[in-house]
Amino acid sequence: MSEDDGSHSSNGNYEETSTDSSCHDEPPHKERTGRTSAQCIRVTKLPDGQRLSVTYNSRGQPIGDTKSSLSSWEAMLARSKVRIIYRNWKAVPDDVKNRLWISLKTKFLLGEDERKSRLSSMASAWTKFKSTLTTIYIRPFENDPEVLQKVPEIYKGYIPQNDWDVFLKERLSVEFKKISLKQSARRKKKKYNHRISKKGYAGLTEELKKKMGPSFDENNRDFLWKEAHKDKGGNYPDDATREVAEKIDSLDNDVKEGKVVTQGRDDVLTMALGTSEHNGRVHAAGEKQVKRQLFVSEA
């Protein structure tokens, strides 16, 4: 597979993609919302030289309406300016990542200390975009070569035919299908899916702060976990999730009565889930939060 610097000639140039059209070029699936496009267009229509300030919570996570604009713009940059021929984010050249960062800073007031987290966010958006292309535009048409060979209509503006050909070949390969099956099996093992969508734990935390006032403890991971896993009606969607929530309530009572002692990572949520926190992100914390930040006593 060719892995050049991401620049194109007349048959497709990611760097010069129209952001107006890219804001609308989202796949017609269940995760698409009018709000996403609206947030993206809001950034597009900023006067030249004007940038949006990003609001952060006490943990350094973006929050508020600007967070939605930021994540929508990051997703647009990722899908329109990074070629889909790269197998993974590590294969994307550094100069392409640098251009992404520069493009993002033309619309948002960001410090250099934010570069790593924002590129990580764009990496996730890019990976999700490639997954969407596979799920919606490749797998359903594996027996229809005539449809498969064409770049999806809404992406013709910035996916060149030659890039689509390379991507298609990779996604139809035996090697990729094996990897896909392993990932699918791994996802099936994930019992508990939160219901908080793009707002994430940071957004949920802000909502609960406004709703509950001073009584709300943003460091109470088990309470946040329960709230994140409720549906719109305030109910748990399945027996497995409900059982964990009930176990959390029981453990909370035991802690209050002195029957159970928590310390560091061995808190109520970890006990209820029955799994230790790994070295990356931790449960019920959200973007940028890792063990050394949440469990200070173990740093």
Express each pLDDT in 260-299 by its tens digit. 888 877 889 989 888 765 544 554 444 544 444 444 444 4
Per residue in 121-148, pLDDT tens? 999 999 999 999 999 999 999 999 999 9
Per residue in 206-231, pLDDT tens? 888 888 988 888 888 899 989 888 88
**DSSP β-bridge partners for residue 52:** 108
pLDDT at 142: 93
pLDDT at 27: 52
Higher per-residue pLDDT: 265 or 52? 52
Q: Is the pLDDT of residue 75 over 60?
A: yes
Higher per-residue pLDDT: 21 or 223? 223
For 21-39, what is the mean pLDDT? Answer: 54
User: What average pLDDT is seen over the chain?
Assistant: 81
Enumerate residues 6+ apart whose C-beta is below 8 A from 135: none
C-alpha 160/C-alpha 42 separation (Å) is 27
36: confidence class by pLDDT, cuts 50, 70, 90: low
Higher per-residue pLDDT: 43 or 289? 43
Q: Is the pLDDT of residue 3 over 70?
A: no
Q: Beta 108-109 vs 52-53: how paired, if at all?
A: parallel
C-alpha 157/C-alpha 76 separation (Å) is 13
Lowest-confidence region among 13-22, 151-160, 185-194, 226-235: 13-22
Amino acid at residue number 293: Q
pLDDT at 66: 86
For 97-115, what is the mean pLDDT? Answer: 96
pLDDT at 195: 67
Q: Is the pLDDT of residue 68 over 90?
A: no
Q: Taking the model in full, what pTM does it have? A: 0.72
Q: Beta 62-63 vs 108-109: how paired, if at all?
A: unpaired
Q: Is the pLDDT of residue 191 over 90?
A: no
Alpha-carbon torsion (132, 133, 134, 138), positive or negative:
positive
Q: Is the pLDDT of residue 189 over 60?
A: yes
Per-residue tokens: 202: 């940071």
pLDDT at 114: 93
pLDDT at 217: 87
Each domain of the chain, given as residue ranges in start order, spans: 14-189, 197-298
C-alpha 48/C-alpha 228 separation (Å) is 39
